[in-house]
Each structure stands twice: as structure tokens, then as C-alpha cells.
Amino acid sequence: MEGPLLRVEGLLANLGGQPILRELTFEVREGERLGLIGPNGAGKTTLLEALAGLLPVAGGRITRQASFFYLPDGIMPWAELRAGELLSTFQSHHHREGQERQMLIEELDLGPVLGKRMCELSKGNRKRVLLALAFLTRAELLLLDEPFDGLDIHQTRRAMNLIESHQAAGRTFLLSIHELRQAEGLCERFLLLVGGRLVATGTLKELREHTNTQDGLEEVFLAV
Amino acid sequence: MSSGGFALARTPPGPPRPDRAKPAPGFSLWRLEIRHLLTGRAWLGLAVILSLLVGSTFAKAVGIFTEGSRAALTSPDLAQGMNPFDGVLGPTFGSAYLVATLLLPFVAIRQIGADRESGALKLLLGLGCSPLQVVVKKFTVLVMAWAIYLLVPLSAALLWSRSGGHLVGTELGGLLLGHFLYGTVVIALSLLAGSLGRSSATSSLLVLAATLGSWVIDFEGATGGGWLSRLAALSLTQALRPFEQGLLPVGHVLAWSAFIPVALGLAAGWLHPGHRMLHKVLLSVGGVAAVLLIFLATPRFQRSWDLTEDRRHSFPSGVENTLSRIRGRLDIEVRLSAEDPRWMDLDKGILRKLRHVMPHVSVVRTGDPSTFGRYGQGGDDHYGEVVYRYQGREGLSRSTSAEEILPLIWDLTGAHPWAEDPEAAYPGYPKALDAPLGTLWFRLLLPLLFLALWLQQHLSLPKAV
């Protein structure tokens, strides 16, 4: 494929009359794991919603060259339905093989929760089911908002491995992650968003150069 | 398994490759929608309340009909007044009206509101469904559920028939169609309210406001005149009333059927979180204009079919044939106030029959209370007159009786009624039952049946588990 999967130019978005995203310009390249980081209220979720077409934008242009799927954070869809049923529905909707579904169940250790209703699941279990739903789609670009929120260290590691294996199979990821160590361990490139503005983009090395720091992402973040 | 002397290890498949193919439309999301409805308690609550309400109304209606029938069975004159359509079917289906008006909106709002509040809507849109597809899926599933709900009052009609009560297929069919159409309109409106409101509570308030507003407009329209009575034609209650009277009104069916896609289109427009407010407002202006056009066009389709066995809305067939062949326009000016009993007699009697059969008839009531006083007590000599105009000719009458008005119409139009054989008078169908009907069915078996279905849906595990 030629060019980036997603190109954003001069993106503007307002909420309640207040500017939330200010003139954002960046691109998502094919096959990368791009981390979206920034303090609370920086506009990370707003940006993902705008990219997914779920928020009206006030200006700028979004050019999508790929199929995409957006997984929001903090949702509890179809609360009365069971996790296994939702997985089957997504599998069937996307014409996935039963083997592919089973593999996701094993990789995310979902076996014990398949028979439970979504409203009965803990935050972490629900997050893992929702991640499995996202992976069952055929989207080339996955926009994941806080994919590890609520997961313990083992579950986070499993989810990261899954993201890496799917990237190797050709998927691209834009991940909003507030835990900087997780972002540093997983992502290859970063978008640093502060107050709705994109203050830095690039690899960790490029961000270090930009901020004249030598340490990890946390120090870069603090320096910005 | 070996090949060329080397043992091949069975390797697990890697992650599936992504692609740009859009999911083909399948049944999976429909099934999800059906399960979403059936696993909710709202659906069960509505079904149980409908069963109990229909059972209670049906038992009371049959009891009262039985009391009337005991006297009528000994007197043919009294028997003529015993009509099961009015005495049993109408009140029994009235329970469905109550449920459709007061409970069905909340089931519909839950179906759309829960998706928006829980985040399911964002996933559905991410799965490639357009907002219109989401709304249409929900609408279709809810309409199917409403059709199933209507089996409850229908079972009462069948019980009545099996116990020897008189049942006319056309009357029952018209009543069923009316209630189905009414419920369908309520569902479309509720989905629109569900899309407009930011929360289910706000949406419920919107629907309640529409219901109460309908009742107020209806009442004002019945007692006031002019634009209020025209506005009353837009009230929700009017969607059902003709069917309850045993009519199949073409204009009503067309208007409300056209209203439904407009409401669904508006609901889809408001549902999408990514649409700008200006876009939604412009869409709404277009929708309101479309609804007004639909209801302005409705009076052009005055034709209706009288489905009643006693043909209460019809003239004798010879008279009807003659009236239906009058091609010119008959203008009728009624100088009576809306509260005047003579207006009600005239409107519900001969005017309705004329509208029902004549291709071009226009009725204007000019008896404004400010001109004549509420009952003509202003002393104006013209109050009470009804003026009939046809192709430059004019006739005047104060009567509300067909025996006096029809000859006047024949004189004006030059039409001559066909000679006809006298039609058999409606005999009436008194029926006295010794025991109450359907108590066990409506108060125990049917609620248990719904409970069992809900439990089956609620407890069922996914196949692969």
C-alpha cells in the first residue's frame, strides 16, 4: 500500500463551544504501533472518536486508506448477553473461522468468562472480551482506547503479545495509553498530546532529542 | 504424518490477516437485536401486563355483554343492539391501545437508549452498520414483537368465537390492522424520541409529552373548531379511532405508513454522534415539512371501507352506488358550533357516510361560537343551517336526517338512486355465557408462557461454551 493508512491534517474539534483538538496534523503508517499519550484531558479519547467518525469535527481533513475499528474505553455493551455469545456474533458477522475465535479465547484466557453476562464481568474481564471482539473484526487499523485499563500484569502481557502477533500479521494499531511504561514497552512511535495540541511526535529516540533528555518516556513526558 | 522422510509438526495458525472487505449483511446482528430485546425485563413486563389487562377487560366485556344478552334473547328488538364488535372486541383490544400508548414506548426507548448509553452503538457503527440500518433493525424487531403481543387480544377473540360468540372476520381484521399500525407508529415515534434524547429518561419524557399532547389536541379538536380540529387529525389517537369504529380508512393508512419512514429517517439522523448539530437541525426541518405535506395530502384520500357487518357507516347499496357516481364536487357548509349535539349527529351520521363514499365532498363548519354563541344563543337566524352547494346550485336544510338530506342532494346533482331490494336488518348476536372466559389462560398460563420464554432466553448459554 502506498502512503499512510490514515492522514490527519489540521484537525479541529470543539466540545460545548470549547476547542478540544487544535490543528492536529499527523499520520498513521502501515504496520506500526503508534502510541497516543498525554495527560488526562489532553483530548486522546476525543481524537480517537473524531478519527472513528463518532464526533463532528470543526475543521481539517481526515483521509482514511484502510478499514478500521474503534474500541472505546469504559463501555459495557449488550449487558444482558453472555461473553461467548458476543464473540460468536462478531465471529459470524466477520466470517471468521471457529479456530480463530478459539485462538483468541486461549490467548486472552477467556474460557472461564464465556458463559457470563457482560454485566457480571469485572472491569478487566470485560476489557479482555472487548479486545477479543476488536481482534475478531477484519479491520486493518485498530483504534484502541486504553486497551490495558483494568488488566493485571499477566493479562496486560498477554494482550501486548496479541497486539504484537497481530501487527506481525499485517495489522496497524493506534493505541491511547495513559500508563507510560506500557506505552514505551509496546509502541514504536508516539503522538504526545497536551491540551488538545500535538506537542511532539516520533520514536522514543526522536522524542529524547526533542526534549534533551536521556531517560524513558516518563522523563520525556515530564520535560514536555 | 510424514513427507519425504521428515516429520511435519502441526503448527497452530497465526493471527488472521486483516483486509478491507466489508462484512456481508447476515443474520448475526439481527439475532443480536432480537436477543437484546428478549433478554430484557421490559419485554417480559409488558407481555405479562398485557395478558392480565386483556384478561380483565375481556372478562368484564363478556360479563356485561352476557347481562345485556339475557334480556335480548327474549326480545328481537333488543337483540339488534347486541353487537359483539362493540361489546366485546372493541373493549378487549382497548387494552392493547393502553399498553401501546403507555408501555410500548419504554420498551422501544430501551432498545435504542441502552445501546447509546452502554457504548454498543459505537461498536455497531464500527461494524459497518449505518445509523439507518441500526434504526431499521431495531424497528423491525420491535414491530415483530408488537405483532406477537397482538396475539394476546387475538386469543381473546378466538376464545369468544370458540365459546359460540359471533365473530366477523373483516371486523376483526380491521381492528387488528388498526392496532398493528398504531403500535408501529408508536414504535417509530419512540425510536425517534430515543434518538433525540441524550438519555433514556429524557426520551421517555419526550414520548410522554407527545402522548399527553395528542390527548390534549384530540380533546381541543373535538370541542374547538377551525385549525384545532384540523390539528387534531395529527393526534396519535386518530391513527386508531377509525379502525375501532369498523372503518378501513385509505387516507389514514397511507398517511401513517408514510410517516413511519420519515420518523425512522429522522431517528437515524439524530442517532449518529458524528453528525453536526446543523446537519441534524436541517434534517429535522425537512422531516417536519415532509410530515406536514403527508398530512395535508391525506384529505385527498377520503375513501374508506366500512368493515362492519351492520354497515353502520354506509348508506344502502343503491344509494351508495348513486353517490359514488357523482363526479362534481359537493360543498357543505355547516353553521353549527363544535359542541352542538346537532353537529355531532350530522358529522357522525350522514357526513361520515358521504365522505366514505363520495369521491369529491368538502365539509366546512362555520358555526364559530364568537359569531353565534356556543349553542346559537346569539340569536342569529342562520345558526343551525346546513348549506349544500353543487355546480352553482344551492340547497338549504336544518335536518340531520338522511331521509331529508338525500332528496336534497338528488335535486342538486340530478342523480337518481337505483332501485334496490330492501336490505336485511342487522339481527344482533346476543350471547349469554354462564362462566367467565379465559381466566386461567390470561391470568396464569399466558404469563407463565411469557416467563418461560424469557427464562429460556435469559438462561440460555452460547453454543460453544
pLDDT of residue B294: 84
| DSSP 8-state assignment for residue B359 | S
Residue A190 has pLDDT above 90, yes or no: yes
Tens digits of per-residue pLDDT, B373-418? 555 555 677 888 999 999 999 999 999 888 889 999 999 998 887 7
Distances (CA, A) of B420 to B170, B312, B317: 24, 18, 8
Position B3 confidence tier, pLDDT thresholds 50, 70, 90: very low
Average pLDDT over residues A86-107: 92
**Residue A138 corresponds to which cell in the numbers above?**
477484519
Position A201 confidence tier, pLDDT thresholds 50, 70, 90: very high
Chain A residues touching residue B127 (CB < 8 angstroms)? 69, 90, 93, 137
Cα dihedral sign for B452, B453, B458, B463? positive
Alpha helices, H only, B272-340: 277-297, 317-324
Q: Which helix (H) or strand (E) holds B268?
A: helix B250-271
**Residue B36 corresponds to which cell in the numbers above?**
437484546
**Residue A221 corresponds to which cell in the numbers above?**
513526558
pLDDT of residue B465: 42
ipTM: 0.94
In A178-217, the residues whose Cβ lies within 8 Å of chain B are: none
Minimal Cα distance from A166: which residue of B? B15
Average pLDDT over residues B283-307: 84
Average pLDDT over residues A10-34: 93
Most confident of B54-58, B216-220, B311-315: B54-58
**Residue B389 corresponds to which cell in the numbers above?**
352547494
Contact B115 A75 (CB under 8 A): no
Instruction: Decide: B112 and B195 in contact? Cβ < 8 Å.
Output: yes
Judge whether A94 is closer than 8 Å to chain B, CB to CB: yes
Distance from CA of A216 to the nearest CA of B (A): 31
Tens digits of per-residue pLDDT, B247-260? 998 888 888 899 99
Alpha helices, H only, chain A: 44-51, 83-93, 98-107, 123-136, 153-168, 180-186, 204-211, 217-223
Distances (CA, A) of B249 to A3, A161, B222, B387: 61, 65, 19, 26
Tens digits of per-residue pLDDT, A158-176? 999 999 999 999 999 999 9
Position B9 confidence tier, pLDDT thresholds 50, 70, 90: very low
pLDDT of residue B20: 66
Q: Is residue B433 exposed (0-12), middle (13-18) or buried (19+ Cβ within 10 Å)?
A: middle
- The answer to whether the predicted template modeling score (pTM) of the entire model surpasses 0.90 is no
Position A33 confidence tier, pLDDT thresholds 50, 70, 90: very high
Tens digits of per-residue pLDDT, B25-51? 678 889 999 999 998 899 999 999 999
Average pLDDT over residues B356-375: 72
Candidates B123, B127, B279: best to mutate against A (most CBs of A within 10 A) is B123
CA–CA–CA angle A92, A165, A141 (5° rounding): 60
Judge whether A158 is closer than 8 Å to chain B, CB to CB: no
Distance in angstroms (rounded) separating the CA atoms of residues B236 and A52: 38
User: How high does pLDDT run on average in chain B?
Assistant: 86
Position B8 confidence tier, pLDDT thresholds 50, 70, 90: very low
Q: If you compute the radius of gyration of chain B from its CA atoms, what whole number of angstroms results? A: 28
Amino acid at B284: S
Distance in angstroms (rounded) separating the CA atoms of residues B442 and B59: 10
Average pLDDT over residues B13-25: 66
Tens digits of per-residue pLDDT, B165-196? 999 999 999 999 999 999 999 999 999 999 99
pLDDT of residue B370: 58
User: How high does pLDDT run on average in chain A?
Assistant: 93
Question: Which among B136, B175, B174, B134 has a CA at the least distance from the CA of B153?
Answer: B175
Amino acid at B346: L
Tens digits of per-residue pLDDT, A102-154? 999 999 999 999 999 999 999 999 999 999 999 999 999 999 999 999 999 99
Chain B residues touching residue A67 (CB < 8 angstroms)? 18-22
In A52-81, the residues whose Cβ lies within 8 Å of chain B are: 52-56, 66-72, 74-81
Candidates A47, A92, A93: best to mutate against B (most CBs of B within 10 A) is A93
In A99-128, the residues whose Cβ lies within 8 Å of chain B are: 99-101, 103, 114-115
pLDDT of residue B6: 41
Minimal Cα distance from A89: which residue of B? B28
Average pLDDT over residues A196-200: 93
Tens digits of per-residue pLDDT, B74-96? 887 788 889 999 999 999 999 99
Chain A residues touching residue B465 (CB < 8 angstroms)? 82, 84, 114-115
Tens digits of per-residue pLDDT, B207-249? 999 888 888 888 877 766 666 766 776 678 878 988 999 999 8
pLDDT of residue B348: 81
Distance in angstroms (rounded) separating the CA atoms of residues B186 and B190: 6
